[in-house]
Amino acid sequence: MRGWMMVVAVVVLMGPTLAVQATNVWETTVSAGLNVTSGNSDSTVANAGVTAVRTQGPHVTRLLAEANYGESKTDGDEQTTADNIKGGLNYKYSFNGSFVYSDNSVFRDTVADLDLRLILGLGGGYHLITSETAKLDVELGAAYIREERADDTGDDSVAFRAAAGMIRPSARRPNSGRRSSTCRRPMISISTWSTARQASRQC
């Protein structure tokens, strides 16, 4: 099969040079991607996103927005393969080796016939290990989930979460005394879902 592929990716980082140590400054990352293929079938996949993080002492606020779109065409038959958008707000406050957080998001997926998925989460945890080489956190939380679908049905549910995660700084860059960005290694993630109510929006 003869074909061609074009991939375009743009990543723009805005912020101070020592962004990891900056406080009261929004560190913003903007990304965009385009993937186009042609052959027996043609497809196009595009995505874009922006993330902004601000650290003010023990307060950390994170905002995000992202969108994905994809379509394919085979023998004149066009089909949308992806069409979704997501927005999120996360807040975390650390104190005396512990932390509390609020993790909230809104999501829509046209392909999956999902008009809305709203998640409002609260939780807390403890920093078991805090050092220059590694950080280990454990946390417990709960979230309220509201879903509304294209067939005018919806449901409400509650999710309970227990998790532990480790953050290790990446290896030092060659010929540089600075470390590259940290990498997160999830260790445990357990979620328990319980449906509280199912309802129809139809009259």
Please write the tens of the pLDDT for every residue from 57-112.
999 999 999 999 999 998 878 999 999 999 999 999 999 989 999 999 999 999 99
Task: Report the alpha-carbon distance of residue 11 to residue 27 in Å, rounded.
Answer: 13
Please write the tens of the pLDDT for every residue from 141-158.
999 999 999 999 999 999
Please write the tens of the pLDDT for every residue from 13-69.
333 333 344 567 899 999 999 999 988 889 999 999 999 999 999 999 999 999 999
Q: Domain residue spans in the chain?
A: 1-79, 96-203
Task: Report the alpha-carbon distance of residue 195 to residue 75 in Å, rounded.
Answer: 43
Task: Report the alpha-carbon distance of residue 26 to residue 56 in Å, rounded.
Answer: 10
Task: Report the alpha-carbon distance of residue 158 to residue 145 in Å, rounded.
Answer: 6
Domain spanning 1-79: CATH 2.40.50.140: no
Q: Is the pTM of this model over 0.75?
A: no
Token representation of residue 57: 């002492």
* CB 63 within 8 Å of CB 103: no
57: Cβ contacts below 8 Å, ≥ 6 apart: 23
